[in-house]
Structure formats: structure tokens, C-alpha cells
């Protein structure tokens, strides 16, 4: 196919959103899993935000004068997050997805970022194979959970809205756990009013941007993350991601009525540090 890549613009949101919805719905339907987006309008609204945000890089694939796919790179932090990458289901398997992924990896190299990460639907064998061929390494099996927030919380843990005064402390906590901070995301979440911190014995022991598909959380202990999960009113979108190897946290979620929606895989390229404490990744990482 004759495919041309170009930067994304705000005007691409509707077309890219439709393809994003169609692509995720098609692959999820083939494997009997729920789609990541309930409608094309929701996908378009999300991508519109990415296309207009200075912290995101976007690339559009065009074929025969029409948009055929898109990919995004979250550059708000030192470690980049990739996705969503989607291709029109009617013209898949023609290397468009590979070219979109290679483009953002070139962007990572050009900006001298130490690494990039993504979450991959574990039931999607083709994407797992493609990302592995491009140099990504499987780092963590994840389970996306959904349900009614538990009415129990570890004693002595208080959850409150995060403020900009908490940013430096939360960044230091993230560095201790992951080796890098995610202050760009957290700053946005504080401004949007979704971020929360959890305190224990008078000090911050964890934070979340939001307990949701696009939110990440960090805690000194499993109890800190449990408190954040329990304090949420709802889990927007398909749910939130729990590292399945964290048996204590995963079992606590199941014992409190949460259900597994789908399996995911965390993959990375470049710098990666094994997390030193409890965490919940976003759909980026």
C-alpha cells in the first residue's frame, strides 16, 4: 500500500477516534472480551485531548487520501508511554501498524529518552509478536479489574485530594519505587482534580492520578494502594490494572468483589527498573 505518515492535528480527532473504536472493538470481539471504548465519540474525545496536549506526540497514517491509523507518544515524563496505536480493521496486516510504531520509536531516540513502555492486550498475539520483534521486552502480567469499590480500607490510612504542594513528595516516592518520577502526569491530574494521596502516621505513603484505565498509582505498601482503591467512588472506563504477580493485592481485590475484565501485558524498551514497592500502571505503563 502507498502509506504516508504525517503529524496529527486537532482536525484528525473524529476520524482517528472512529478507527480507534472500530479497531479495539474488532479485536476484542474476536476474543470475546469487552471493548476498551463504549463508542466512537468517547474515543474521539480522548484522542482530541492528546492531539491538543503539548506533552503528546502524534503520528497519522494516510492511504489513498484517507486516515488509516494513528499512534501517540506521551512525553510528559522521562519515560515515554506509547499508544493507543490503531489501524483501520479493513486494511490491517499491511505493515501500517509496524510503521506507526517505528515512527514513535524514532521519536524516542531523537529526543534521547531513556525508555518507552506500553500495555498490550494479552489475548492479541499479533501485537505481542510485533512489539517483541521491535525490541520490547515483557515485564509484567497484569489484570484489568472492575466492580464496586470495596467499603473496607486498611486502618490508619487517610485518603485526600492531592495538591501541588504534594507534587515533590509524590515524585520522590515514585523515584524510590520506579527509579523515575511521573510528575508530568501527576501535575495534570492535580489540575484536573482527580489525583489523590494517602497518608499514614502523618506522612504521604502513596498517590494516584486516578484509579482508572488511564491512571497510575504508587505506594510504599500494599495497604497504601488498597486505601486508594477503596476510596474511589467508581473506576472510570474498563477498569484499573493490577500486577497479577502481586498476589496479596490481587487476592484482596478479588476477595472484595472486584472481577477480572481482561489480561494485559506491560512491555518496555530501553531503561527499566523492577518496581521496589506497590504500584498500579496506567494503560501507558
Task: Mark whether 101 and 168 lie in a shared domain.
Answer: no
At 57-100, the pLDDT tens digits run 999 999 999 999 999 999 999 999 999 999 999 887 679 999 99
Report the distance separating Cα 75 and Cα 212, nearest Å. Answer: 20
Rounded to an integer, the average pLDDT of 10-33 is 97
Pairing of the two strands 137-146 and 86-87: unpaired
Cell numbers linked to 205: 505513603
pLDDT at 57: 98
Residue finishing a domain among 95, 113, 131: 113
* Main-chain dihedrals φ then ψ at residue 31, nearest 5 degrees: -110, 10
Mean pLDDT, all residues of the chain: 97
Residue finishing a domain among 113, 137, 166: 113
* Range 93-126 burial, b when 16+ CB lie within 10 A, else e: eeebbebbbebbbebbeeeebebbbbbbbbbbee
Cell numbers linked to 233: 467512588
At 215-248, the pLDDT tens digits run 999 999 999 999 999 999 999 999 999 999 999 9
Task: Mark whether 74 and 180 lie in a shared domain.
Answer: no
Indicate which CATH number applies to the domain containing 202: 3.40.630.30
Number of domains making up the chain: 2
pTM given for the model: 0.95
Residue finishing a domain among 61, 92, 113: 113
Task: Mark whether 258 and 188 lie in a shared domain.
Answer: yes
SS3 211: coil
**Confidence tier at 1 by pLDDT (50, 70, 90):** low
What is the sign of the dihedral through the CA atoms of 113, 125, 244 and 143? positive
Give the domain extent around 62: 3-113
Amino acid at each position: 500500500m502507498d502509506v504516508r505518515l504525517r503529524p496529527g492535528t486537532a482536525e484528525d480527532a473524529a476520524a482517528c477516534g472512529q478507527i480507534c473504536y472500530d479497531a479495539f472493538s474488532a479485536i476484542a470481539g474476536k476474543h470475546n472480551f469487552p471493548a476498551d471504548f463504549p463508542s466512537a465519540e468517547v474515543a474521539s474525545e480522548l484522542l482530541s485531548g492528546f492531539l491538543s496536549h503539548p506533552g503528546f506526540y502524534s503520528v497519522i497514517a494516510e492511504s489513498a487520501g484517507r486516515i488509516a491509523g494513528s499512534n501517540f507518544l506521551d512525553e510528559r515524563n522521562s519515560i515515554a508511554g506509547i499508544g493507543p496505536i490503531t489501524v483501520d480493521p479493513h486494511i490491517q496486516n499491511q505493515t501500517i501498524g509496524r510503521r506507526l510504531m517505528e515512527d514513535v520509536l524514532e521519536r524516542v531516540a531523537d529526543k534521547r529518552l531513556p525508555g518507552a513502555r506500553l500495555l498490550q492486550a494479552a489475548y492479541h498475539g499479533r501485537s505481542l509478536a510485533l512489539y517483541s520483534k521491535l525490541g520490547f521486552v515483557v515485564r509484567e502480567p497484569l489484570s484489568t479489574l472492575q466492580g464496586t469499590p470495596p467499603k473496607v480500607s486498611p486502618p490508619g490510612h487517610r485518603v485526600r485530594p492531592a495538591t501541588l504542594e504534594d507534587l515533590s513528595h509524590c515524585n520522590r516516592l515514585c523515584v524510590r519505587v520506579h527509579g523515575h518520577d511521573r510528575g508530568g502526569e501527576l501535575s495534570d491530574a492535580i489540575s484536573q482534580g482527580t489525583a489523590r494521596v494517602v497518608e499514614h502516621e502523618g506522612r504521604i505513603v502513596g498517590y494516584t492520578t486516578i484509579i482508572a484505565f488511564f491512571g497510575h498509582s504508587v505506594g510504599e505498601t500494599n495497604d497504601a494502594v488498597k486505601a486508594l482503591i477503596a476510596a474511589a467512588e467508581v473506576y472510570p472506563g474498563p477498569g484499573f490494572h493490577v500486577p497479577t504477580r502481586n498476589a496479596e493485592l490481587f487476592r484482596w481485590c478479588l476477595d472484595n468483589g472486584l472481577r477480572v475484565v481482561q489480561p494485559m501485558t506491560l512491555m518496555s524498551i530501553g531503561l527499566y527498573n523492577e518496581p521496589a514497592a506497590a504500584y498500579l500502571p496506567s494503560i501507558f505503563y
